[in-house]
Copies of this chain bind each other. A is one copy, B any other.
Amino acid sequence: MRVAVVGGGVIGTSVAWRAATAGYRVSLIDPEPASGASFVAGGMLAPVAEAWPGEEDLLELGAVSLRRWPEFAAELERASGLPSGLRTEGTLVVGVDSADRAELDNLADYLATLGRVVTRHSGRELRRLEPSLGPAVRGGLEVPGDLAVDNRVALAALRAAATAAGAEHVLARARAVRAGAVELEDSVLECDVAVIAAGAHSGELHPLLRGAVRPVKGEILRLRARSTALPPPSRTVRGPVHGRQVYLVPRDDGGLVLGATQYEVGFDTEVTVGGVRDLIADAEQVMPGIAEYQLVEAIAGLRPGTGDNLPLLGPLEPGVIAATGHHRNGFLLAPVTADAVLGMLRGETPQDEVKAADPGRHNGGQQ
């Protein structure tokens, strides 16, 4: 069976790798693979730290996918011969002012009602765990199960694994997807099943996705510790800082990723001075030592947002599967998404945890 996957980010490449490994004839279509939101991403695997009342389906989906990440990473390393980029040091969620700490208390209380217990720490206890945290950090939560992955390392491994499994890379732009075919700019690629994993651009590819996925701009800074600087924290550390979300995700070799702003301004990937200023200011509240870090890169990407923050994961019509709308959670949800798409290719009944992500959910299941 011929499977055409549109989109060479973390979702599309994961699907292509898994499908090719399972014996399907896979074409992975992207004019610039691994260049979009997945290339920009912070790479947090943080369903618990990002839990939000009313988004229990997303927390459940994320928790299922996070449990699969260690095995996913191990298989990826075997298949690619490359590191997966997974880091298992866990996450601290810290707050600066009293409103921040109240927000964290609410998060801890909410998680407790779901049976998920996180540890509360004072600022002093947090600095004992991560000495680079600054005096402005007054309290926080330890979430050891929330992990992170080096997005670019993982993308390189996924691409190598997909190639090794026999996936064909088609460096072309898809214009539309319909049953049995992906229309490229100058040709048509025929297939038995097409998978739309084109992130924020998915809405342009199929009528049922139009308006269902919107671009949510995010800016991040990539830093590196200079010889005169404190080393990065070993854990991911995230705010709220005076009510604004900021995260510091450590990479190997002294790297540190600061993210992320959030704007709804259309297909705009310019880094703004105000965004950079805010990221630095918030991150310095958490870790003053970053002033001595090198600014290696400032870059912006477009998260594929949906109305309820759940992805769109399931059949759109016979022969066309949506695997998009992963918003802030593309890396987190890659394992569960790839497994779900593989199940759909095999004609299996969708597993319970992905039913909430059915792309037909907004029209009562009608497609």
Q: Mark each residue of chain A from 191 to 232: 1 if its CB lies under 8 Å from any CB of chain B, else 0.
A: 000000000000000000000000000000101001000000
Given contacts A295-B298, A298-B295, A298-B298, contact A226 B270 (CB under 8 A): yes
CB distance from A259 to the nearest CB of B (A): 14
* Separation of A95 and B359 alpha carbons in the complex (Å): 58
* Separation of A335 and B221 alpha carbons in the complex (Å): 40
* Separation of A293 and B277 alpha carbons in the complex (Å): 12
Partner of A273, one of B270, B272, B274, B292: B292
Which residues of A, 4-22, contact B by the 8 Å Cβ criterion? none
* Separation of A295 and B274 alpha carbons in the complex (Å): 9
A276 interfacial by beta-carbon distance below 8 Å: yes
Not counting A221-B273, A274-B292, A277-B291, a sample of 15 additional A-B residue pairs whose C-beta atoms are within 8 angstroms of each other reads A226-B272, A271-B295, A272-B292, A272-B295, A273-B280, A273-B284, A273-B290, A273-B292, A273-B293, A276-B295, A277-B277, A277-B281, A277-B284, A280-B280, A295-B298
Which residues of A, 274-288, contact B by the 8 Å Cβ criterion? 274, 276-277, 280-281, 284
Partner of A276, one of B226, B270, B280: B280
* Separation of A223 and B274 alpha carbons in the complex (Å): 12
Establish whether residues B298 and A274, one from each chain, have CB atoms under 8 Å apart when the complex forms: no
* Separation of A269 and B147 alpha carbons in the complex (Å): 33
Going nearest first, the 10 A-B pairs with the smallest beta carbon separation are A274-B291, A270-B294, A271-B295, A277-B280, A273-B293, A273-B290, A273-B295, A273-B291, A276-B295, A295-B298
CB distance from A268 to the nearest CB of B (A): 8
Contacts of A274 in B (CB 8 A): 291-292
What copy number does this chain have within its complex? 2
CB distance from A247 to the nearest CB of B (A): 15
* Separation of A271 and B226 alpha carbons in the complex (Å): 10
Chain A to chain B contacts (Cβ below 8 Å), 11 pairs: A226-B270, A226-B272, A272-B294, A273-B280, A273-B284, A273-B290, A273-B294, A277-B280, A277-B291, A280-B280, A298-B298
* Separation of A270 and B276 alpha carbons in the complex (Å): 17
Establish whether residues B272 and A293, one from each chain, have CB atoms under 8 Å apart when the complex forms: yes
Contacts of A226 in B (CB 8 A): 270, 272
Contacts of A292 in B (CB 8 A): 272-274
* Separation of A226 and B291 alpha carbons in the complex (Å): 27
The residue in A270, A291, A295 that gathers the most chain B C-beta atoms within 10 A of its C-beta is: A295
CB distance from A134 to the nearest CB of B (A): 14
Residue of chain B at shortest CB distance from A274: B291
The residue in A223, A271, A277, A293 that gathers the most chain B C-beta atoms within 10 A of its C-beta is: A277
Residue of chain B at shortest CB distance from A219: B295
